[in-house]
Structure 1
């Protein structure tokens, strides 16, 4: 039986984390068993413990990777107030609402993350603080008031998407998104 080198093991781990990120956002933490997560990565259950100590270990890493991907997207595409406004509009769009697996991990998983262990919540906190710091920097302001303002706007964005996803009345769901855009732009003073 051949042993794989360190690089192959790291690539496999990365493949598991990426597949898990999409699946967790689509089906939730509780709705995604280890066997499903591993199958999505093209692997068997038996390979899981060669890479992770527990499902929570994978969840923490996958959510952190998803938030870092989102932060990198913000870093690459949100450099001024106009681009920040477009980010808000894209986030609070029917496309984002309707494609959970491709969207924000906070909007997909926040309710479950609050019930995770300290390690997962600490990893999530660090990644969110980085994202919010980037958004605050775009506003050109520094300090606790800006942090609170940006945090409030992000929380409103998450809640708005979650509510819109939960409604079966498409007209109402779209109106919720539109009002969310107006409210977030107001909080961020982008109108």
Structure 2
């Protein structure tokens, strides 16, 4: 029975991972249960052994995608320098050209806005984790003071990436990404930094 339980968990995780990639490539509405289960190498009937509904899978897959993005952030060095490299990597032609392996917000935000409240809540909780991690790098003494500013920069980056993916003119799309980097970094420079308190020993 131990093997059966572990096998079921592994199967569910495979569905979640495959669905996350499919959603980002084809959209939530463009990805039916039959297609999602085929991607995972399973039959339609197996779906309901793991999820109550497609909406349940959407919420789970979006949260999992954002968890992966949060882990991705840890690959960058601490502090402002790491955040700058993250911005440049996010707003790169490589990320623009790889929606399936990229940011779930840039790929799915318009569809998530039309989902049910539980899915929106799952998205909100997960994306705020990312925002708080970035804020902690920029204002380690008081991360919450930087939360709204960082969230607005994240929105700027997501919108820039979405527009760059939409433009038929590749050179213009590249220019939009470059300007987006400048705009994001300028906005981040406005995040108040609360210095560590020091004790005068003289």
Whether the TM-score (by the shorter chain) exceeds 0.5 is yes
1:158 is matched with: 158
The within-5 A match list for 1:121-140 is: 121-140=120-139
The within-5 A match list for 1:78-97 is: 78-97=77-96
For normalisation by structure 1, the TM-score amounts to 0.94
For normalisation by structure 2, the TM-score amounts to 0.89
Give yes or no for the alignment of 1:101 onto 2:95: no
Distance 1:144 1:84 in 2: 17
Identify unmatched segments of 5+ residues in structure 1. none
Deviation at 1:145, TM superposition (A): 4.2
* Larger Rg belongs to: 2
2:27 is matched with: 28
Deviation at 1:144, TM superposition (A): 4.8
Give yes or no for the alignment of 1:114 onto 2:108: no
Alignment check: 8 A CA contact 1:107 1:162 kept: yes
Q: Deviations over 1:93-143 (max 9, x none)?
A: 110000000000000000000000011111101101100000000102525
1:71 is matched with: 70
1:179 is matched with: 179
CA RMSD of aligned residues (A): 1.5
2:16 is matched with: 17
Distance 2:73 2:21 in 1: 19
SS at match of 1:168: coil
Alignment check: 8 A CA contact 1:78 1:87 kept: no
Alignment check: 8 A CA contact 1:21 1:66 kept: yes
Alignment check: 8 A CA contact 1:78 1:138 kept: no
Deviation at 1:42, TM superposition (A): 1.0
* Alignment length (residue pairs): 188
Deviation at 1:155, TM superposition (A): 0.1
Distance 2:79 2:145 in 1: 19
Residues 1:143 and 1:72: Cα distance change in structure 2 (over 3 Å): closer
The within-5 A match list for 1:43-58 is: 43-58=42-57
